[in-house]
Structure 1
Amino acid sequence: MKRIVLVCIAGAMLAACTNNNAREEALVKQKVVAAIKDSLKLDSFKKAEAKIKEKEQEAQRLAKIKEERRMLLLSERNEAAPARSYSTETAAPAKKKGWSQAAKGAVIGAGAGALGGVLLDKKDGRGAIIGGVVGAGTGYLIGRDQDRKSGRVQPKN
């Protein structure tokens, strides 16, 4: 019986002397891993916030550019439109710009087409009329393209 009691006491002592140090280390490691994961999450949130701020700044910048363009177009329209003046002074007449390239092209094309039509079809001016109409249309289209390139006419949107 003494042996059984001694074996039980020895077993209890061995069971009581477990390694608490290993458990504490495991808990510390778990806490460190959790802290690292939290810091990574926090860092990713900061990066996401920074991206959102960048997008907002880009949107503000684009809105500012759009507003500047709109104001520029409005100022150009205001400069082009005659201003109403209520003063008694006489305003200087606006300087004429002359013929547009489209008008010049239509006239030149009509003349050249009519001449070509007369030379090709010698029946009662029928060729002259057809050639003049075709030449005027072609000259107008070419001149209109030149006006768009020079800025005299606004291009189609």
Structure 2
Amino acid sequence: MKKVLCILCFGAVFTACKNNNSTDSIGAAKQATIDSINTINTVKQQTLDSVNTAKAKEAERRASQASRSTASSPSAASGSSTTTTTEPKKKGWSNTAKGAVIGAGTGAVAGGIIGKDAKGAVIGGLIGAGTGAATGAIIDSKKKKKD
């Protein structure tokens, strides 16, 4: 009876020590998650940079329009009128930026669910960001033509 128990214990120890693959797969999953988060943050930063660039260009355009309109107005030449300037209304995010951020979030969630891993989430996030940005750009161009 002692020999049987010793053999069972010896077998259990070797079986337990043999299963080291689970820790490697956990480490790989953690690294994949970190990589996907870094990718999403990169896309988010690029989107914010493009929004800031667009805002700067819009501010330059408004400033040049304002300088042209005050220089060419007849009342400015007479010197008898006072000009009042109002702050331009802040527009907020463009539809392109909104679409990219919403698409990236939705795509990442859908990709994570469908792919059942971080790789699917990254791919879904990138595809969603591209699709959302394209859709937002179409909406922006239609609004620009309307105005």
Structure 2 length as normaliser, TM-score?
0.48
Answer 1 or 2: higher relative contact order, Cα 8 Å, separation at least 6.
Answer: 2
Structure 1 length as normaliser, TM-score?
0.45
Larger radius of gyration: 1
